[in-house]
């Protein structure tokens, strides 16, 4: 039976601060690393969420959501829908809390992500991308039992992600812009909520790949849109087939604009991080750096959120090695 979601509302600074206390023992306070690029480039800092225990930011939201379960909900277990990182986050947080977990996982997700979810004790139900996308709207899937934790449209999940915004402004008070990749929109909604509450003048930008950019399309149209030319790519953790109307309502007050980058620009950003900072980023994790390098977000200081590093090493080498 599909669950009825609560009404969309702002994420308050007070609940972000409470979430921070709640998840401190589970997540890592990740460093903010200046990327030394030399003259002619923007001043860019990398927020290294690839250093979380699951190598992705999703642990922040998952840890907060699981910590807020009632005792009866813990006994029933939890489930989520994921291309990999949200599933790992929920599985990791659930395992630490002694809670059973199930992930309705996209069958084309990278092997490394699927293996990590299984290793964390999650029961996997593999489905095609389109089926998972529909299940996100329905908030239900046959065989998935327990309390549903939405991987982006969930107040507690978003509040957990928002804790990153507190860290960014503490580590770089002069931040002029923050760029986050957009998949479902939970990351940018969370970070944007914290940033705008504390320093409204800081610009918050979303980054999407050219093959899957419904948020940028929605921004141009002024309403949530379907991205008709969606294509699967190595940027599996960002971009979608459509902009969820509820997430559009969440994003509008806290996001200033959107930057669409090519797959080649994304690969170049992956290679640059590897060469300059010895950072391995998955495609979605490299989108913000690629967007920052376009110059559209200004001269900085710009914080590019490296949202994850869960990519098969063979695939990573193929991608950055194929550049001309």
> Mind listing the pLDDT tens digit for each residue in 245-274?
999 999 999 999 999 999 999 999 999 999
1 in a domain, yes or no?
A: no
26 in a domain, yes or no?
A: yes
71 and 43: one domain?
no
Q: What is the pLDDT of residue 236?
A: 83
What does DSSP assign to residue 237? T
191 and 291: one domain?
yes
Residue 103 confidence class, pLDDT cut points 50, 70, 90:
very high
Q: How many CA atoms lie within 13 A of 323 on its CB side?
A: 15
> Can you tell me the distance from the alpha carbon of 260 to that of 209, in angstroms, rounded to the nearest whole number?
6
Q: Is the pTM value of this prediction over 0.85?
A: yes
Sheet holding 78-82, edge to edge: 123-127, 101-106, 78-82, 147-148
Last residue of a domain, one of 125, 148, 171: 148
34 in a domain, yes or no?
A: yes
**Can you give the residue range of the structural domain that contains 295?**
13-56+162-321
Residue 3 confidence class, pLDDT cut points 50, 70, 90:
low
Q: For residue 249, what is the domain's CATH number?
A: 3.40.50.1100
121 and 260: one domain?
no
Least confident of 130-144, 165-179, 187-201: 130-144
110 in a domain, yes or no?
A: yes
189 and 49: one domain?
yes
| Rounded mean pLDDT, 148-175 | 95
How many structural domains are present in the chain?
2
214 and 305: one domain?
yes
Least confident of 8-22, 94-108, 225-239: 225-239
Q: What is the pLDDT of residue 1?
A: 45
71 and 121: one domain?
yes
Higher pLDDT, 199 or 145: 199
> Can you tell me the distance from the alpha carbon of 47 to that of 162, in angstroms, rounded to the nearest whole number?
13
């Amino acid at each position: 039976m599909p669950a009825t979601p609560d009404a969309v509302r702002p994420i308050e600074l007070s609940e972000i601060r409470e979430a921070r206390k709640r998840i401190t023992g589970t997540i890592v306070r990740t460093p903010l690393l200046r990327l030394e690029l030399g003259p002619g480039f923007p001043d860019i800092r990398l927020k290294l969420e690839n250093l979380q225990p699951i190598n992705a930011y999703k642990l922040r939201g998952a840890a907060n959501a699981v910590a807020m379960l009632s005792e009866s909900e813990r006994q029933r277990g939890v489930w989520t829908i994921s291309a990999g990182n949200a599933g790992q986050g929920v599985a990791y947080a659930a395992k630490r809390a002694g809670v059973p977990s199930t992930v309705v996982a996209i069958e084309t997700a990278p092997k490394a992500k699927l293996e990590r979810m299984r290793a964390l004790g999650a029961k996997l139900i593999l489905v095609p991308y389109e089926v998972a996308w529909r299940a996100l709207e329905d908030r239900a899937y046959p065989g998935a039992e327990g309390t549903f934790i939405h991987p982006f449209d969930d107040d507690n999940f978003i509040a957990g992600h928002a804790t990153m915004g507190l860290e960014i402004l503490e580590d770089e008070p002069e931040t002029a812009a923050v760029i986050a990749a957009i998949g479902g929109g939970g990351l940018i909604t969370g970070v944007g909520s914290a940033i705008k509450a504390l320093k409204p003048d800081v610009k918050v930008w979303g980054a999407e790949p050219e093959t899957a950019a419904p948020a940028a399309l929605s921004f141009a149209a002024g309403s949530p849109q379907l991205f008709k030319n969606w294509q699967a790519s190595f940027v599996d953790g960002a971009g979608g087939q459509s902009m969820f109307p509820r997430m559009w309502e969440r994003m509008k007050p806290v996001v200033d604009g959107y930057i669409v980058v090519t797959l080649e620009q994304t690969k170049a950003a992956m290679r640059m991080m590897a060469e300059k900072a010895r950072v391995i980023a998955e495609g979605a994790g490299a989108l913000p750096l690629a967007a920052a390098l376009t110059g559209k977000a200004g001269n900085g200081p710009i914080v590019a959120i490296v949202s994850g590093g869960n990519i098969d090493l063979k695939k990573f080498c193929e991608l950055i090695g194929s550049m001309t």
